[in-house]
């Protein structure tokens, strides 16, 4: 089975709230299984 990994890299600029939003979007909109 294929798993999708979303790359959020340093796009969160070290801010936890932005990181959480990126992970949420990756999971719900992009249907990613993991984020890194």
Domain map of the chain by residue range? 5-35
| pLDDT at res. 24 | 97
Find residue 6's DSSP bridge partners.
Answer: 35
Query: Which has the higher per-residue pLDDT, 27 or 10?
Result: 27
pTM here is 0.82
Q: Output Rg (C-alpha) for the chain, integer angstroms.
A: 10
| pLDDT at res. 7 | 95
Question: DSSP characters for 1-36?
Answer: ----EE--TTTTTT-HHHHHHHHHHHHHTS--SEE-
pLDDT (average), residues 4-11: 93
């Amino acid at each position: 089975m294929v798993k999708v990994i979303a790359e959020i890299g340093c796009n969160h600029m070290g801010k936890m709230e932005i990181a959480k939003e990126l992970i949420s979007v990756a999971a719900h909109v992009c249907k990613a299984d993991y984020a890194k």
